[in-house]
């Protein structure tokens, strides 16, 4: 049977993201979201999650582009300035692979994130991470061990085709090549520890939005098993773009997740919309 997981990343980061998740989960095809531990709208996201039983919620482990749970002075190698993480995966991985970031600091911060999640009382479906950093050697092992201790045995593997979507430049090809390599490593390590993951990953990782057209094409060519589509829906491009510094069409993703046409095709083709509980 063919099943599809539309997962909204960054749940809890802003109320306009939360609102998009709530509407897409109740009126559209979204059945999964991953919660940012230090998100400014974390408490609002928890309230939404608790009133929508069909919404599976995972943990969006975060080491860049946000603030830590831990006091900054306790994790000095993770802090770039003003008490914040490194701004993005590129600056983080450059520091990480040149030995400037401590694994003990990573373990401390991720432990704090898991502890905060456990205090919510929610049962979490899986782990993934902001900008895919849980795939990196060293970080992956810490994340898997903490997830296992928390009773979580499912994870995202961001393993997609190198040239899927609209690849525009060499920078995107290099980025995809790196993620392809790291996700291959993560798949092997996760499998050895008994972690499960979707059969296929179809999120666009080069920056362009998951539009209605993309989802319609995906449903036409969906393979057997469970396919995850990574999404970033929100209600206001300008406000969310200003927050994230990412010029992205969040509104198009929200429209795709709530598209009547997409939902009609899913029903017509007998494709189940689900979350990580289906794995």
Give the residues across from 231 on adjacent strands. 8
**Neighbour count for residue 129 (Cβ, 10 Å):** 25
Place of tokens 């972690």: 195
**Helical H segments across the chain, by residue range:** 15-27, 42-51, 89-96, 103-118, 139-149, 170-192, 212-220, 237-244, 250-257, 260-268
CB burial of 104-120 (b: ≥16 within 10 Å; e: otherwise) equals ebbbbbbbbbbeebeeb
Tokens of 43: 């408490």
For 2-278, CATH gives 3.20.20.370
Judge whether 57 and 37 are in contact, CB under 8 Å: no
Q: How far is the first Cα of the chain from the last one, in angstroms, to the nearest whole number?
A: 12
Each residue's pLDDT tens digit in the chain (279 positions)? Answer: 999 999 999 999 999 999 999 999 999 999 999 999 999 999 999 999 999 999 999 999 999 999 999 999 999 999 998 899 999 999 999 999 999 999 999 999 999 999 999 999 999 999 999 999 999 999 999 999 999 999 999 999 997 665 555 555 544 544 565 687 899 999 999 999 999 999 999 876 545 789 999 999 999 999 999 999 999 999 999 999 999 998 899 999 999 999 999 999 999 999 999 999 999
Euclidean distance between CA atoms 178 and 98, whole angstroms:
16
Closest by Cα among 212, 226, 220, 216 to 279: 226
Q: What pLDDT score was predicted for residue 257?
A: 98
Q: What pLDDT score was predicted for residue 174?
A: 46
CB burial of 246-257 (b: ≥16 within 10 Å; e: otherwise) equals eebbbbbbbbbb
pLDDT tens for 247-257 read 899 999 999 99
- Residue 4 has φ and ψ, to the nearest 5°, of -130, 135
Domain locations in the chain as residue ranges = 2-278
pLDDT tens for 117-134 read 999 999 999 999 999 999
Closest by Cα among 161, 228, 235 to 197: 228
pTM of the model: 0.93
Give the residues across from 81 on adjacent strands. 84
Give the residues across from 215 on adjacent strands. none
Euclidean distance between CA atoms 153 and 194, whole angstroms:
7
Q: What pLDDT score was predicted for residue 170?
A: 43
């Amino acid at each position: 049977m063919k099943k599809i997981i539309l997962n909204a990343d960054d749940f809890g980061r802003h109320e306009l993201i939360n609102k998009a998740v709530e509407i897409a989960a109740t009126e559209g095809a979204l059945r999964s979201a991953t919660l940012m531990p230090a998100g400014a709208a974390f408490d609002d996201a928890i309230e939404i999650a608790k009133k929508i039983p069909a919404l599976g919620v995972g943990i969006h482990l975060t080491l860049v582009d946000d603030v830590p749970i831990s006091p900054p002075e306790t994790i000095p190698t993770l802090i770039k300035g003003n008490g914040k993480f490194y701004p993005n995966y590129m600056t983080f991985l450059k520091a990480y692979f040149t030995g400037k970031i401590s694994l003990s600091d990573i373990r401390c911060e991720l432990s704090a994130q898991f502890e905060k999640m456990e205090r919510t009382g929610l049962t979490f479906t899986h782990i993934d991470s902001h900008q895919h950093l849980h795939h990196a050697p060293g970080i992956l092992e810490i994340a898997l061990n903490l997830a296992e201790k928390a009773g979580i045995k499912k994870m995202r593997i961001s393993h997609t085709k190198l040239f899927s979507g609209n690849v525009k430049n060499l920078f995107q090809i290099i980025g995809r090549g790196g993620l392809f390599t790291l996700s291959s490593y993560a798949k092997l390590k996760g499998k050895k520890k008994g972690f499960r993951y979707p059969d296929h990953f179809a999120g666009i990782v080069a920056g362009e939005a998951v539009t209605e057209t993309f989802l319609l094409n995906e449903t036409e060519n969906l393979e057997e098993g469970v396919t995850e589509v990574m999404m970033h829906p929100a209600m206001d491009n300008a406000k969310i773009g200003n927050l994230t510094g990412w010029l992205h069409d969040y509104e198009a993703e929200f429209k795709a997740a709530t598209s009547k046409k997409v939902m009609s095709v899913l029903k017509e083709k007998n494709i189940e919309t689900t979350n990580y509980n289906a794995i």
